Structure 1
Amino acid sequence: MPLTSTLARRPSRIHLAQLLCAAALSGCALTAPSSPQSTTASPALPAEAIRALAPDGTLRASINLGNPVLASRDAATGALKGVSVDLAHELGRQLGVPVELKAVDAAGKSVEVVRAGAADVGFFAIDPVRGEGVSFTAAYVVIEGAYLVRADSPLAANAQVDRPGTTVVVGKGSAYDLFLTREIKQATLVRAPTSPQVVDEFISRKLDVAAGVRQQLEADAQRVPGVRLLPGRFMVIEQAMGVPASRPPLARATLHAFVERMKSSGFVAAALKRHGIEGAAVADPAPQR
């Protein structure tokens, strides 16, 4: 049966039950092609665009749990939640295919999953280093990078961090790592395995500065006594979606158009509000690519 006619058919209850049963047996985090958060009518996507993004008939989305602005696990159920999770479900709904979420604990791992073709889409900070092997959309969210120090630290401003003898810990492969690797000239960078482990490394190794996403550092400051955030931000990070660079140009163009619809429709803003994300903003509109 042609793909267009298959997607046009509304799945029967029996078919849907079989799909969910197969997902449970395989151990994959599959979801039916619908999104409870959807606020946008599905566009009429051509079959070749659907094949470009989900060639196997399932949209595999890499979800980075290392950035709490984008995704986390529900403390009660363990289910994945967050802005990127909502976007993955909505993209699957608009494509008319089920979604398989592939959770990883660090940004670098998420990049590798997509770069290797083990996922069809991912959610990343735009960075020239990551551009190798991944094609990005325009940004959908912009977030802030911040520094955390001990309460008695002599450091009072972001500009004071890059000095000889100062040690700065950052999550390996994160956007902050890539940025600081380029920008730090005198301080010494130390890399924690993942971004959520940065503050624990900062404490246990008696380092001078912890660098990361503001929301993560603010949460850590609530559980770790005797620390404070430096005022302001040391960088602004543009969060985008991406596909393997090996995919046809239509895949990136379709994903780019999806991201722009999600911004202009209010979907991204509603997701940020629903998940209680502060300090992040919807990115400005971008021209069609």
Structure 2
Amino acid sequence: MVWRAVRVGLALLGVVVAGTSCSGGAQRPAAPASRLDDVVARGELRVCSTGDYRPFTFRDADGRWSGIDVDMARDMAAKLGVKATFVPTTWQTLGADFAAKCDIAVGGVSVTLDRARLGFFSEPYVVDGKTPITRCADVGRFQALEQIDRPGVRVVVNPGGTNETFARQHLKQATIVEHPDNNTIFQEIVDGRADLMMTDATETRWQARQHPQLCPVHPDQPFTFAEKAYLLPRGDVVFQQWVNQWLHLALHDGTYRRIAAPWIG
């Protein structure tokens, strides 16, 4: 009786094993599709960028693109064996444009929780923070937020980005002046139509090199902590991991340093 039960049990086990063996290939779930495969199959990496935030991204009047992140995106595309196609966007429409038109967004994109709801971020490649830039004669006037947030102080902002968000969160008495063109916004300070702008320390250093009349205010000790990273499709771990590996190598094999040197030294 016991032996008969054992034989029946072994027979049933054999059926289960055989069934699993026969059907395993057909029932195994397919690996989820990744944007990485789409990009390679398409032969094109679609890159959203604002083109107005040097040294990271710039698009001139003739439509030519340049900047640290522009060249980094080109390097990424080359490593994938595809071409990079740049898609103009604005800080106000970045989220919608990225979701509808692009595989990646680059150009000094600050990591924020709101943007993290729209997509994944790569590993950060720059640590930054908000700090003022003003006429060199006025550096001593604007060392602290308490000195900036006073009646009569005019703070210029580019609409839609983290600069405007920071200014509106912290300034209640100063006058916030919107200027729609981030490529010409610093001339507003040079010409006296604004007193300062608060932006990322990296940008203040670069703009001070372009405008000798302007000086960054304590760029090594900004008011905030922020990081720059690349915005990637939400939920696509495969693509995110590939981008992170490419970025890790670029930061350590001299690629990023070579690309950034002409812009920030």
Instruction: Flag whether TM exceeds 0.5 (same fold).
Output: yes
Q: Compute the displacement of 1:238 (Å).
A: 1.6
> C-alpha displacement at 1:200, in angstroms?
3.9
Corresponding residue for residue 72 of structure 1: 58
Correspondence for 1:286? none
Query: What is the CA–CA distance in structure 2 between the aligned matches of 1:119 and 1:194, rounded to whole Å?
Result: 23
Q: 1:257 is matched with which residue: 239, 245, 261?
A: 245
* Corresponding letter in the other structure for 2:208: E
Counting only pairs closer than 5 Å after superposition, residues 5-24 of structure 1 correspond to structure 2 as: none
Partner in structure 2 of residue 234 of structure 1 = 223
Give 2:259's aligned amino acid.
A
Contact 2:47 2:84 in 1 (8 A): yes
- Any stretches of 5+ residues in structure 1 without a counterpart? 1-46, 279-289
Question: Between Structure 1 and Structure 2, how many residues are aligned?
Answer: 225
Q: 1: distance between equivalents of 2:209 and 2:38?
A: 39
| Secondary structure at the counterpart of residue 196 of structure 1 | coil
Please point out which of 74, 82, 85 is paired with 1:97: 82
Question: Matches of residues 133-148 of structure 1 in structure 2 within 5 Å?
Answer: 133-143=118-128, 145-148=130-133
**Structure 2 gap segments, 5+ residues each:** 1-32
- 2:127 maps to amino acid: V
Q: Deviations over 1:8-64 (max 9, x none)?
A: xxxxxxxxxxxxxxxxxxxxxxxxxxxxxxxxxxxxxxx956225566442101233
Q: Does 1:192 align with 2:179?
A: yes
**1:221 corresponding residue in structure 2:** 211
Equivalent AA in structure 2 for residue 195 of structure 1: N
Task: Give 1:248 deviation, angstroms.
Answer: 2.8
Q: CA deviation at 1:188?
A: 4.1
Pair 1:62–1:272, CA change in 2 (3 A): same
Q: CA deviation at 1:179?
A: 3.2
Superposition RMSD on alpha carbons, in Å?
Answer: 3.3
Quote the Cα distance in structure 2 between the aligned partners of 1:55 and 1:134.
Answer: 22
Q: Secondary structure at the match of 2:134?
A: strand
Q: Determine helix, strand or coil for the equivalent of 2:207.
A: helix
Q: 1:152 to 1:267 in 2, by over 3 A?
A: closer
Report whether the alignment pairs 1:113 with 2:97.
yes
Tell me what 1:169 maps to: 156
Residue 216 of structure 1: how far off its partner (Å): 4.9
Equivalent residue for 2:18?
A: none
The answer as to 2:259 corresponding to 1:271 is yes
Classify 1:161/1:49 alpha carbon distance in 2 versus 1 (closer, same or farther; 3 Å).
Answer: same
Higher helix residue share: 2
**Helix, strand or coil at the partner of 2:100:** coil
Q: Is the Cα contact below 8 Å between 1:162 and 1:185 reproduced in 2? A: no
Aligned equivalents of 1:190 and 1:128: distance in 2? 26
1:210 to 159, 173, 197: 197
Question: TM-score, normalized by length of structure 2?
Answer: 0.69
